[in-house]
Amino acid sequence: MTAFAIAPETGDHQSAIDLLHAEAFGPGRYSRAAFRVREQGPHDPALSFVALDEGDGALLGSVRLTWIETAGTGARGLLLGPLAVQERLKGKGIGKALLRRAVAAAREAGAGYILLVGDKPYYWPFGFETLPRGKVQMPGPVDPARFLVCALQPDVSETLGGMVRWAEKPRA
């Protein structure tokens, strides 16, 4: 098992993260609906994290959070992703450690919810549920069974509706 530490993302990690995303998702990542939201504006580096090898400091994984809102209601939350781990290290707990830190950071930041497109069996233990079909849309096709929400505030799922779009970071 590789010993690793979770740390905030910094600009120094950018090229290693870009390489990790290219290896994990390939060129098709640019056509995904979640990428279309992310290209509207930057992720929040204060809410984005890396897993680093405790021995040599090499990047092992990354997770990012991007502020969003739903156009129909203006409900603000975060879009999680990409979550990526080096292929050789999958199944070692790195992705789950990054996910726990991201969810905790979103809660601490006062976000109402986190949206993502992913596999429910992986994300369910962290509080993610399938969104009600048709209530929220992405700017591109999404498999409804993979469109998930983690409500960080009571009854927030009822406030969601409309197209997901990038939003500026809330002022403190």
pLDDT band per the 50, 70, 90 thresholds, residue 22: confident
pLDDT band per the 50, 70, 90 thresholds, residue 29: low
Q: Render pLDDT for 33-47 as a digit per residue (tens, 0 to 9).
A: 777 898 899 999 999
Distance of CA 111 to the CA centre of its chain: 13
| Domain housing 74 | 4-166
Has residue 171 been placed in a domain? no
Has residue 172 been placed in a domain? no
Has residue 11 been placed in a domain? yes
Q: Render pLDDT for 36-91 as a digit per residue (tens, 0 to 9).
A: 898 899 999 999 999 999 999 999 999 999 999 998 888 899 999 899 999 899 88
Q: What whole-number distance in Å separates Cα of residue 48 and Cα of residue 64? A: 4
What average pLDDT does range 12-39 have in this prediction?
Answer: 79
Q: What whole-number distance in Å separates Cα of residue 107 and Cα of residue 148? A: 17
Nearest in space to 136 (alpha carbons), one of 94, 83, 77: 77
Tokens found for residue 109: 């930041």
For residue 145, what pLDDT is reported?
93
Q: What whole-number distance in Å separates Cα of residue 62 and Cα of residue 148? A: 19
Share of the chain above pLDDT 70, in %: 95
Above 60 in pLDDT, residue 153? yes
Contact 6, 50 (CB under 8 A): yes
Q: What is the mean pLDDT of the chain?
A: 90
Has residue 77 been placed in a domain? yes
DSSP annotation of 72: T
DSSP annotation of 55: T
Please report, for the domain that includes residue 102, its CATH number: 3.40.630.30
For residue 23, what pLDDT is reported?
85
Query: Residues with Cβ < 8 Å from 128, sequence gap 6 or more?
Result: 114, 116, 118, 120, 148, 149, 150
Above 70 in pLDDT, residue 30? no
Q: Report the largest interatomic distance among the alpha carbons of the chain, rounded to a whole angstrom.
A: 48
pLDDT band per the 50, 70, 90 thresholds, residue 149: very high
For residue 15, what pLDDT is reported?
92
The number of domains in the chain is: 1
